[in-house]
Structure 1
Amino acid sequence: MGADIDHPERDQRWDTQARDETATQRLDRNWSSLLQELRVVQTGVQLLTGLLLTLPFQNRFDRLDDQMRTVYLVTVACSVGATILLVAPIGMHRLMFRRHRLDVIVSGAHRLACCGLILLALALAGVAVLIFDVVAGTRAGLVAGGVTAVALVGLWLVLPLLLRRGPPPPSL
């Protein structure tokens, strides 16, 4: 993913002019912003993963057919993967603490967060399929999963990409 955070030189001049910040201040701000985003999403993905891990021990789980069991396993794998990727930046930071490599941490954490969000989106669509399948049938499950996937792609990918297309903010 070619995001601006991976190429700080692309926005360094604007940051210096508009924010009067150094490269180190920008990295601190980017890391702080990323941590806030991770705090929001980590709780949700960890709760989702915990819930999914308990489902096989519920009485109605035996009613899932082989296809829905596969959906369940893929959903769990995506949710566990998302949890791992969204928590990984904290481990990176701990291992690299006081190594003066915030540039590497911010860039790596950005990539991990993006990959974690992709897996989270897949897990959310899978959960929608499972819940609607159990409550209203396979067709409803597939529709719910599809609608969820379209909403996630639209709001998490297409809308931000459209908003990026505008002109950059003017320098102050």
Structure 2
Amino acid sequence: MSGRHETTRERADRRWNDLLQEVRVSQTGAQIIFGFLIGVAFTPRFAGLSAFDKNLYIVTVVLGAFATGSLIAPVAFHRFLAGHDLKPELIHIAARLIAVGLVLLALTISAAVLLLLRAATDNAVLSAVLGAAVLLWFTTAWLLLPRLVLHRAAARRARERGRDEP
């Protein structure tokens, strides 16, 4: 269907390499954010946070840990499954883990923005609106726009098939 002339094994190798390239950026970003989040609890200002903000911090750190784990998991899967001729299965699982990791990363960043803005502005409403705007942006850029592209491509292919039929 893709117009490529490749064996199943070549396709699996290409798709695996594509996945690795895609995850590198998000994986590094998640690790950096998680590292910074860990350090927040050791700052003098942390003790003065409200109970809500401390709970928000805990949720943000846990989301960051899950995001980091999900985005690193394909490496562990590969390490344990290498040499067992399971690359198609590995690709399927890795793609799902990366998708979950990206959702968790978007939630982590949005929660971190909310926490940061609450501390920086002392304006809960503005912080909530801007945190929600960040989450909406991720939802739009990472989920809705790709779906729109798929929908338009499917519609275009359907129109082209209709023209080819007598």
Q: TM-score, normalised by structure 1?
A: 0.86
Q: C-alpha distance in 2, partners of 1:65/1:128?
A: 16
Equivalent residue in structure 1 for 2:129, among 143, 154, 168: 143
* Matching of residue 158 in structure 1 with residue 144 in structure 2: yes
1:62-101 paired onto structure 2 within 5 Å: 62-101=47-86
Q: What letter matches 1:85 in structure 2?
A: S
Q: What letter matches 2:13 in structure 1?
A: D
Q: What letter matches 1:143 in structure 2?
A: V
Match of 2:18 in 1: 33
Offset of 1:82 from its aligned partner? 0.5
Identity score, percent = 33
Q: C-alpha distance in 2, partners of 1:52/1:20?
A: 46
Runs of 5+ unmatched residues, structure 2: 161-166
Offset of 1:25 from its aligned partner? 1.4
Structure 1 residue matching 2:152: 3-state secondary structure: coil
Q: What letter matches 1:123 in structure 2?
A: T
Q: C-alpha distance in 1, partners of 2:29/2:153?
A: 34
Q: C-alpha distance in 1, partners of 2:96/2:38?
A: 26
Alpha-carbon RMSD across the aligned residues, in angstroms, is: 1.3
Match of 2:89 in 1: 104
Q: C-alpha distance in 1, partners of 2:34/2:5?
A: 42
Q: What letter matches 2:136 in structure 1?
A: V
Q: C-alpha distance in 2, partners of 1:44/1:159?
A: 21
Equivalent residue in structure 1 for 2:36, among 42, 48, 51: 51
Q: C-alpha distance in 2, partners of 1:88/1:127?
A: 23
Offset of 1:88 from its aligned partner? 0.6
Q: C-alpha distance in 2, partners of 1:150/1:56?
A: 28
**Aligned structure 1 segments of 4 or more residues deviating by more than 2 angstroms:** 166-170
Q: What letter matches 1:126 in structure 2?
A: A
* Matching of residue 123 in structure 1 with residue 108 in structure 2: yes
Q: C-alpha distance in 2, partners of 1:124/1:167?
A: 31
The alignment covers a number of residue pairs equal to 155
Runs of 5+ unmatched residues, structure 1: 1-13
Q: C-alpha distance in 1, partners of 2:139/2:24?
A: 22
